[in-house]
Every structure is written in structure tokens, then in C-alpha cells.
Structure 1
């Protein structure tokens, strides 16, 4: 999955996202594990809001996304903030992740991992490059959100010169949501259409994938309030710790 044309409107359409609260949660978890500097990877960095906040906090950030358009937005923001020199941007599929060395931790937010049909592979790749004691902080949409919130619903977003219609279809047999995004530019009359999927993973499946790849799940909470999970939580937020390196395993 790669947001293409939608990349340029992502921040406006995601305007309700509380990046400050997310950053505070991520930074507190990193600090609790003694990770106050070093290399972090943002897996599916999108337009880079969290990536750049962590870069400003002194981390050496690697922003990774499959969408060239998303990375262009990150690059523009980084230049405006004077952060270009301390930021590495890579256009990669997380199922074919290839870094140049090890990382102290990784973040992956706003349901990036739900877009991946092979969750085990994506987690294995993150584990491969992570140092022992490294922290993996990520969120994922819950089965409840896929079934009850997205479901068959349609959402419309209006901007000054553009209109975006976001349609969802949940397939219980395939355990995935088909999402179509249509963007119409009022001034030029241009129309763009994108389609992608979100895959449903249970808490037990996510935990099993982490444990299989050398992580210990330290905690999981509601990914919006950061309080306890409920039956109607729409997002999980995970904190997992790498308990051995690939070399030790071998």
C-alpha cells in the first residue's frame, strides 16, 4: 500500500490526530528503557510528523515509507525545520526492509502494520535490525474498528479546493477492509482514485508474531487514550522489547 495523491492531503484529513500525546507516550517509553539518543526507524513514516518530532528530540531518524509522495512531504518539512542533515529517508516495502546497520528502536503508527498482509514478515524484519534491548513501539487498528467503525461506512472530507471520499468494505472471510479513496479537485477538475487494504489481526496473533521474532510484549493499551483497553478500543498501542539478537539466536 502506498498513499500517492492522498499524501499531499494527509495532514489536513488527519487533522484530529493528537501528535503531541503520541510523541509524549513514545518518548516516555524510550526514556524508560534508557534510549535517549541513537538511531530510530519510523516504519511507515507517512508525512513525518512523529519522525521530525523525534529528530528534534535528538534521535538519528530513518524515515521509511513505500510512498515516494509521502517522503517528498517529509523532505520538505525537514528542510523548513533545518533537519535535513540528520534524517535518512528510504522508499521501501516493510516486508523487504533493508537497513545499513542496527537500530536502537522503531516506531510504527497510524495503523501502518494493518496494511501488511504478512505481519510476521514485517515484524521479523524489524527484529533483524534491532539491537538487544531495543524497543518497538507501534499501534494497530483493532478488529472492533474494522468491523464496527469502518465496516461499510463512507467518510467525506472537504478542503478549500478538494473533496475526498473514503469508502470502506469489510470482508469477514478475508478478514480485511477494502478502502477506496477518491479525490476531486474543484479548480482543475482532476480526479484521483486509490484502493488499498487493511488486514485484521487479533491481539493473540500480534503477540504470537512478536514472541516468535524475539520480542517480549511489555504492555498494550488503548492507542488513543493510552489507558486500559476496552471492548470498544479502536486502536492498540504496543510496547515490545527485543530480548535477543539474530546472531545470538544462531
Structure 2
């Protein structure tokens, strides 16, 4: 597919669901290939401060008339992996049904991300901290990256 886009945005820290650096680099390469010359890629990603914050060991959830859910997040610093354990209850035909699922997220460093971006050709890489640079409260470790595909 030829380069098509002037800009690509990825939000909600979705790139943390890519669990190894080579696959993250491959995703960056696909973004790069999809951008027109001088195109911009903007994304946020959660760094270790986010994984070590109130997320670690936190439990959250919600209860409604026909469903309920709970989420427990545990960060394993030695693996740089966070596991999100979901439990969902749904009232189906008068009976409660339970579903359990686990989703993993990978914690990358700024240096790893910057290197992967550079390896696929991105330039003008800027990194911003949501709390410090944008004044977003209670958001530790949320980093925003802005980079550009070189004009050839």
C-alpha cells in the first residue's frame, strides 16, 4: 500500500499491548510506511511510573442491573509486564454467567521507544510528560511522543 496519510494518532496507551520490542518496532515500521513524506505520528504510551503507581494492585469495577465487572491490575517489575485480570458477570436468561480474562501490557523505556522509532526512520522525536508538560493531574508515567517521517 502506498503512503497515504499526513498524520497517524494512537491513543489510550494502546501500544503497551504489543508485548515485545521487535513487534513494537514492526508496528512503528507499518506506521512509517503509511505516512506521506513529512507525515506526523503522535501517540501516548505508559512508562514504568504509570505501572508502579496506583494501578499496581488496584481493583476497580462497576455493578449494574444486568452486568458487573471487576479489574485487578498487577505489575511485575522484573518482567516489565502488567497483567490486567478482568472478571465479568452477565445476567443471561435469568442466570448469572461469569467470564474471566487476563490482558498483558509491556512497560518500555523512553530509550527503547526512541531507538525503535529511529531504527524505522522517524526523525524529530519529541517526548512530553502528561503531568509535567500538559498539567494533567494524577497521570504519572503517561508519555506523549511526536515524531515525523523524513521528507525524502
- Pairwise TM-score range, normalised by the shorter structure: 0.7 to 0.9
Residue number in structure 2 paired with 1:109: 11
In the alignment, structure 1 residue 178 sits paired with structure 2 residue 80: no
Residue number in structure 2 paired with 1:122: 27
In the alignment, structure 1 residue 203 sits paired with structure 2 residue 110: yes
Within a 5 Å distance, the mapping from 1:91-106 to structure 2 comes to 102-106=4-8
**How far, CA to CA, are the matches of 2:96 and 2:54 in structure 1?**
31
Residue number in structure 1 paired with 2:63: 158
Give yes or no for contact 1:211–1:217 (8 Å, CA) kept in 2.
no
Residue number in structure 2 paired with 1:192: 99
Alpha-carbon offset, residue 225 of structure 1: 7.7
The alignment partner of 1:212 has SS state of helix
Residue number in structure 2 paired with 1:167: 72
In the alignment, structure 1 residue 212 sits paired with structure 2 residue 119: yes
**How far, CA to CA, are the matches of 1:160 and 1:140 in structure 2?**
34
Q: What 5-or-longer segments of structure 2 have no aligned partner?
A: none
**How far, CA to CA, are the matches of 1:171 and 1:215 in structure 2?**
31
TM-score computed with the length of structure 2 as normaliser: 0.82
| Runs of 4+ that moved beyond 4 A | none
The alignment partner of 2:51 has SS state of helix
Quick check: 205-214 or 158-167, which moved more? 158-167
Residue number in structure 2 paired with 1:82: none
**How far, CA to CA, are the matches of 2:81 and 2:12 in structure 1?**
16
**How far, CA to CA, are the matches of 2:90 and 2:140 in structure 1?**
35
Alpha-carbon offset, residue 178 of structure 1: 1.1
Aligned-residue CA RMSD in angstroms? 2.5
**How far, CA to CA, are the matches of 2:134 and 2:116 in structure 1?**
23
Residue number in structure 2 paired with 1:237: 144
What CA deviation, in whole Å up to 9, does each residue of 1:95-142 have, x standing for no partner? xxxx57522221111011000023211111111221111110111112
The alignment partner of 1:190 has SS state of strand
Give yes or no for contact 1:142–1:236 (8 Å, CA) kept in 2.
yes
Which structure is higher in helix share?
Answer: 1
Residue number in structure 1 paired with 2:42: 137
Q: Which has the higher contact order (CA 8 A, sep 6+)?
A: 2
**How far, CA to CA, are the matches of 2:43 and 2:8 in structure 1?**
8
C-alpha spacing 1:221/1:195, structure 2 compared with 1 (3 Å): same
Alpha-carbon offset, residue 205 of structure 1: 1.2
